[in-house]
Amino acid sequence: MAQNLYGPRVRMGNWNEDIYLEEELMKDFLEKRAKGQLLIQRNRRLKENLLRPMQLSVSEDGYVHCGDKVMLVNPAHAEVEARLFLGGDLSLCATPDEIKAHLSEELEVPCGLSAAQTRIPVGRNTFTILRADGNATGQVLRYGQDFCLATTGGFEDKMLYLSSDHRTLQKSSKRSLLQEAYLTDEVSYLSCWQAAFLDPQLRLEYEGAPVPANAKILIYHCRTNRGLAVHRHLFLSTYFGKEAEVAVHTHLDSHRVEKPSNHWMLVTGNPRKDSSAMLDLPKPPAEAPPALEQATDPGAQ
């Protein structure tokens, strides 16, 4: 098939048609740019919403309440089963599909999840704690109580719920092939979770007790009775870079105790103005004898 090797300025063949075609393409481009329908504009709006700064709720009594905006953080720990792993505190984040993120300005449902090395509350890692029945906003969340974790992703008219279901041959996590965790816009029993005390020997005694903020807890899925986990040694190439996989699986050690990959903290806001989350507060110094005791102790000389 013959091709026109000349530009539209060279008047050969259908030169008039080529000029009109170029003008129509430019007119279509300018019209889409004015309406904000270009792919780069949609992609930019999606990224701005996902990375929009968010304000976390401040806990005045040290407990988590229904309706609070928190971050779900897996505390930093060393991965002993693998040499390469993602270190530091990892926060649960909404992660849209990389191809769909370039074609749409909204979060596609279902939306994936991952764990990222970020301590700043933004649209993609800020979750709202909701009761399963949708009532009694402001009440203290308790161990063994059903609740939902919802995120807006930085959008004002969208609410996605953390959900999971039994794995199948067609539906499982990408790397570990375990039970998948995802975000959906439907509220059902698949989006119900429970908080459990960290020590299994005291778990029954703490049933019904208030859930403390910024402390290690376990988060179990009500339907499958499996814990939310982070696989630091399994990397995902996401729209925002390299992040860790999130799945729903209970990892137990030889003593039948949950491993650190199942540990989570419901991080609240910092009342101070110089930082946004309680993770930014300096840790207390290591336990040591006070300076006054050292000065008055004669054996310390």
Q: How far is CA 247 from CA 42, 74, 112, 273, in A?
A: 29, 13, 10, 35
Q: Is 156 within the bounds of a domain?
A: yes
Domain of residue 131, CATH code: 2.80.10.50
Give the mean pLDDT of 183-191. Answer: 94
Q: Is 80 within the bounds of a domain?
A: yes
**Statement: residue 108 has pLDDT above 60:** yes
Per-residue pLDDT band for 9 (boundaries 50, 70, 90) equals low
Residue with the larger pLDDT of the pair 77 and 94: 94
Q: Which residues pair with 69 in a beta bridge?
A: 128
Q: Is 30 within the bounds of a domain?
A: no
Distance CA 36, CA 141 (A): 43
Q: How far is CA 68 from CA 129, 130, 131, 149, 155, in A?
A: 6, 8, 11, 10, 17
Per-residue pLDDT band for 15 (boundaries 50, 70, 90) equals confident
Give the least confident one: 63-72, 216-225, 273-282, 289-298.
289-298
Q: Is 146 within the bounds of a domain?
A: yes
Q: Is 204 within the bounds of a domain?
A: yes
Q: Is 4 within the bounds of a domain?
A: no
Domain count, the chain: 1
Q: Is 289 within the bounds of a domain?
A: no
Query: pTM of the predicted model, to two decimals?
Result: 0.82
Q: What is the mean pLDDT of the chain?
A: 85
Q: Is 260 within the bounds of a domain?
A: yes
Residue numbers of the domain that contains 225: 54-280
